[in-house]
Amino acid sequence: MSKYDDASWHYGGNYPQDLPKEKASTHIGMFLTWCIDNNLISEDHIQDSIEDIESVRNRTITGADFLINNCDEKITDSDLNKIGNKFAKDYYSLSKKTKFSTKFADYLDDYAKILNNSSTEIDLYMVENSWSNYDLLKPLIGQRFEEWKEFTTTK
């Protein structure tokens, strides 16, 4: 199993003591929301978590809520379908740059650029888990997905 991100990696590290642990799920949840919105979620989740998937799509719960309640605070290859996993491996690259992220950007760089204007980890946790913030980020993830599709077909 490949793990892309885990909230405990964040709140277990250099994390503000006065901040709720849930804030470590915001950035992961926004990516997961985009995956849900774009039908890149796994069949297992579609079978087991369809009500919560629809709640994310209807915006009655956030992706961070889905992550905490349905994914044990982490996003792994079992949470996404085949295309979602390929995209996440190239774009959501926390540990190393990929050919794609080197040419374009990786998810956390884009997240910081759109929502934080800072590259410090601590500031990333201060981003509000809101639909308005997701709406700011959503077009850029969509753009990266289109760039990724073109990039992977021309390699």
Q: 49-78 pLDDT, tens per residue?
A: 999 999 999 999 999 999 999 999 999 999
- Rounded to whole angstroms, the Cα distance separating 140 from 133 reads 12
DSSP 41: B
Number of domains in the chain: 1
pTM (predicted TM-score) = 0.93
- Rounded to whole angstroms, the Cα distance separating 77 from 124 reads 24
What is the pLDDT at residue 117? 61
* Sign of the torsion angle spanned by Cα atoms 121, 61, 68, 31: negative
Measured in degrees and rounded to the nearest 5, phi and psi for residue 3 equal -110, 125
Enumerate helices (H) and strands (E) in the chain, giving the number of each.
Answer: 10, 2
Strand 3-6 with 74-76, pairing:
antiparallel
Residues 6 or more apart whose CB falls under 8 angstroms from that of 29 comprise: 62, 63, 64, 65, 66, 67, 68, 129
Crossing angle, helix 131-154 and helix 26-37, to 10 degrees?
A: 60
Domain carrying residue 19? 3-154
2-17 mean pLDDT: 88
What region, left, alpha or beta, does residue 27 occupy, with left being phi > 0 and alpha being psi -120 to 50 degrees? alpha
> Which range (12-26, 39-53, 60-74, 129-143) has the least confidence?
12-26
Q: Extract the tokens encoding 149.
A: 């599709």
